[in-house]
């Protein structure tokens, strides 16, 4: 069985820069990065023939730092170097063939972006909850997380569709998924914390059934294993999933 194209070692300081074909699509990625996952899911949905270059973000190669913001994801195509997850995801949607993931109607697109803006509170408070050293801090951040998640769930219910974007996942679905995939890490990290459904469990189940998520998604236990590695600092092993 052939390994997925993302099952490649993370290049670190001292690694030579790969030789790139300008006619091929490349993504600078980190296997556990939720922001990079956004664009990976879009590329998979669009069935783009692309290549993955994983980057060790603790010990970044000099050439990577020199030509980027030092962050992933980055799309490289025809000598263009495009960073930032929302930008690279939009680029992949607009540049490559396949059904558009972004609504053509400007109002519908704006409404999706409003939901994404609300979801930003889930993202920020996810990290506060997960990494809090005191229960009081964790529970306070969790309440802010759940308030935002409930608002997002209310929008999902109002739409009355399988996914936020209709009968198949769209840009909004993919932009919020990486953190929804990681939310179950919170009770693993702190057994005193429970995560109520808030009305999105059905959507989560549907997302796991999609090809991009089922191929690229990881379990909460895998995410937690990487978190333990990440806390080692420069000694972090980014390749824990490689056989």
Q: What's the CATH code of the domain at 168?
A: 1.20.1050.10
pTM above 0.75, yes or no: yes
Sign of CA dihedral 132, 136, 138, 144: negative
- What lies within 8 Å, CB to CB, of 207 at 6+ separation is 163, 169, 173, 177, 180, 213
Do 111 and 94 fall into the same domain? no
234 within some domain: yes
The residues annotated as belonging to the active site are: 33
Across the strands, what pairs with 25? 50
173 within some domain: yes
Do 63 and 136 fall into the same domain? no
Q: How many CB atoms lie within 10 A of CB 231?
A: 10
Do 5 and 91 fall into the same domain? yes
Q: pLDDT tens string for the chain (243 positions)?
A: 678 999 999 999 999 999 999 999 999 999 999 999 999 999 999 999 999 999 999 999 999 999 999 999 999 999 899 999 999 999 999 999 999 999 999 999 999 999 999 999 999 999 999 999 998 999 999 999 999 999 999 999 999 999 999 999 999 999 999 999 999 999 999 998 989 989 999 999 999 999 999 999 999 999 999 999 999 999 999 999 997
């Amino acid at each position: 069985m052939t390994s997925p194209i993302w099952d490649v070692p993370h290049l670190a300081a001292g690694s030579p820069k790969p030789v790139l074909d300008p006619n091929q699509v490349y993504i600078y990625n980190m296997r556990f990065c939720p922001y990079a996952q956004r664009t990976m899911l879009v590329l998979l949905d669009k069935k783009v023939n692309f290549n993955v270059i994983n980057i060790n973000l603790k010990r970044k190669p000099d050439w990577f730092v020199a030509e980027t913001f030092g962050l992933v994801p980055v799309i490289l195509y025809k000598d263009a170097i495009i960073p930032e997850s929302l930008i690279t995801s939009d680029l992949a949607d607009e540049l490559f063939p396949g059904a558009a993931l972004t609504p053509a109607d400007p109002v519908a697109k704006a409404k999706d972006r409003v939901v994404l803006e609300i979801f930003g509170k889930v993202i920020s408070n996810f990290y506060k909850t997960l990494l809090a050293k005191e229960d009081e801090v964790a529970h306070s951040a969790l309440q802010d997380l759940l308030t935002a998640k409930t608002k997002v769930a209310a929008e999902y219910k109002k739409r009355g569709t399988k996914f936020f974007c209709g009968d198949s996942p769209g840009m909004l679905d993919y932009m919020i998924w990486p953190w929804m995939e990681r939310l179950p890490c919170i009770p693993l990290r702190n057994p005193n914390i429970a995560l109520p459904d808030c009305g999105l469990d059905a959507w989560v189940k549907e997302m796991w059934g999609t090809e991009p998520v089922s191929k690229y998604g990881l379990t909460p236990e895998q995410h937690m294993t990487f978190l333990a590695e990440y806390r080692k600092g420069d000694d972090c092993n980014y390749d824990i999933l490689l056989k």
